């Protein structure tokens, strides 16, 4: 039987941290990353691709600020900026992937869906915004924006007078058009969806969709989407080949195989720290506990090597 996989590309898979973010850089990074998906396609997998947008939406927000400061161009709200990044990144992935498929003589449709994701407007995350977005401000500039727009700021640890806007990061609870995504991918198309964690929306008292100023974790949304469409496997592509216990310490250890019980114990013990890896592991765990066969966290360029990557299953 054919297998269905959801593949979550990290934002840094498309734009490296030391790059300016030119379209040439992003095109090349996208090509290097997407080439690694070909072996899954040749193996007969149906795939959905999700992606991060952290660097890109940050640049969009800075353009927002520059336009307001220089030309008095009205700023767009965060939900529109997320949608903007979704459309731009999905277009880039779709075009480049179509070219790779053509070179490999593979006939497949590639379809992008700008995806809204429902959250609870009363999620506890709205009482404690933690996700840093946009440019760095001085304290004086931050205070002015707090008074003018009601934004919240936290001091950046990287500089003396550096403040960044923080927004809530609520949990995803529903993927809009998830059944359409499932129908398309099971019909043989490669679907690009849920970029950047999705555009955060909620239902008002009349059942109408309303936007929220928030950013949803990409891996949590990708895990939920994988569960909702009945995916067999869930891949998180990052910049390291394995998950490590006690990363960066003399006790660092490769963790290649984990079951749900061991994964929960490692999370409770703080084995993974509080960095970017912990949310990825939680998303991978949620997928297998939600009925998925296997989650894999690995480095994009080594996806084809099955000896590389941390595999998380419900049981050994």
Query: DSSP for 241-256?
Result: SSEEETTTSTT-EEE-
What's the domain count of the chain? 2
What pLDDT was estimated at residue 199? Answer: 98
Minimum mean pLDDT range among 62-71, 172-181, 198-207, 271-280:
271-280
Strands (E), 119-223: 131-137, 152-155, 163-167, 174-175, 190-192, 199-203, 209-211
106 & 134 share domain? no
pLDDT band at 12 (very low <50, low <70, confident <90, very high): low
Is it the case that residue 275 has pLDDT exceeding 70?
A: no
> Is 27 part of the annotated catalytic residue set?
no
Of 218, 220, 286, 311, which residue is the catalytic one? 218
Of 10, 11, 52, 58, which residue is the catalytic one? 11
Cβ proximity of 78 and 213 under 8 Å: yes
> Is 131 part of the annotated catalytic residue set?
yes
CATH of the domain at 93: 3.40.1160.10
Minimum mean pLDDT range among 25-39, 128-142, 169-183, 270-284:
270-284
Tokens of 93: 């992935």
In a domain, 82, yes or no: yes
Average pLDDT over residues 143-170: 89
Cβ proximity of 48 and 6 under 8 Å: yes
What pLDDT was estimated at residue 36? Answer: 92
SS3 readout for 270-288: CCCCCCCHHHHHHHHHHHH
Of 36, 280, 286, 311, which residue is the catalytic one? 280
Of 10, 36, 54, 131, which residue is the catalytic one? 131
Cβ proximity of 153 and 161 under 8 Å: no
Last residue of a domain, one of 142, 167, 192: 167
State the residue range of the domain holding 236.
Answer: 4-119+173-313
In a domain, 124, yes or no: no
Alpha carbons 186 and 205: distance in angstroms, whole number = 34
221 & 249 share domain? yes
> Is 280 part of the annotated catalytic residue set?
yes
233 & 280 share domain? yes
Alpha carbons 139 and 123: distance in angstroms, whole number = 28
286 & 195 share domain? yes
Tokens of 274: 């509080």
> Is 154 part of the annotated catalytic residue set?
no
Residue 121 CA, chain-centre distance (Å), reads 20
Bridge partners, 237 (sequence order): 9, 298
Is it the case that residue 21 has pLDDT exceeding 90?
A: no
> Is 265 part of the annotated catalytic residue set?
no
Tokens of 133: 């977005």
156 & 101 share domain? no
Cβ proximity of 35 and 100 under 8 Å: yes
């Amino acid at each position: 039987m054919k297998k269905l996989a959801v593949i979550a590309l990290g934002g840094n898979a498309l734009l490296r941290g030391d790059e300016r973010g030119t379209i040439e850089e992003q095109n090349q990074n996208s090509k290097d990353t997407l080439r690694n998906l070909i072996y899954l396609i040749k193996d007969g997998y149906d795939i959905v691709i999700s992606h991060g947008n952290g660097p890109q939406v940050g640049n969009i927000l800075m353009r927002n600020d520059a336009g307001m400061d220089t030309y008095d161009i009205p700023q767009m709200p965060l939900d529109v900026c997320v949608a903007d990044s979704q459309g731009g990144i999905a277009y880039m992935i779709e075009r480049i992937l179509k070219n790779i498929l053509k070179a490999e003589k593979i006939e497949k449709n590639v379809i992008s869906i700008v995806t809204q994701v429902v959250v609870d407007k009363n999620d506890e995350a709205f009482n404690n915004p933690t996700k840093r977005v946009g440019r760095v401000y001085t304290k004086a500039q931050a205070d002015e924006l707090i008074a003018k727009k009601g934004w919240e700021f936290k001091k950046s640890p990287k500089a003396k007078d550096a403040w960044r806007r923080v927004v809530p990061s609520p949990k995803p609870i529903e993927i809009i058009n998830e059944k359409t995504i499932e129908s398309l991918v099971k019909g043989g198309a490669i679907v690009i969806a849920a970029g950047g964690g999705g555009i955060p929306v909620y239902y008002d008292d009349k059942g109408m969709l309303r936007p929220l100023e928030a950013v949803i974790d990409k891996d949590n949304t990708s895990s939920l989407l994988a569960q909702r469409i009945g995916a067999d496997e869930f891949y998180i592509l990052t910049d390291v080949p394995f998950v490590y216990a006690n990363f960066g310490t003399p006790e660092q250890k490769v963790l290649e195989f984990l079951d749900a019980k061991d994964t929960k114990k490692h999370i409770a013990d703080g084995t993974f720290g509080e960095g970017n890896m912990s949310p990825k592991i939680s998303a991978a765990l949620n997928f297998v506990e939600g009925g998925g066969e296997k989650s894999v966290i690995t480095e994009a360029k080594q996806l084809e090597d099955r000896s590389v990557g941390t595999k998380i299953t419900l049981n050994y």
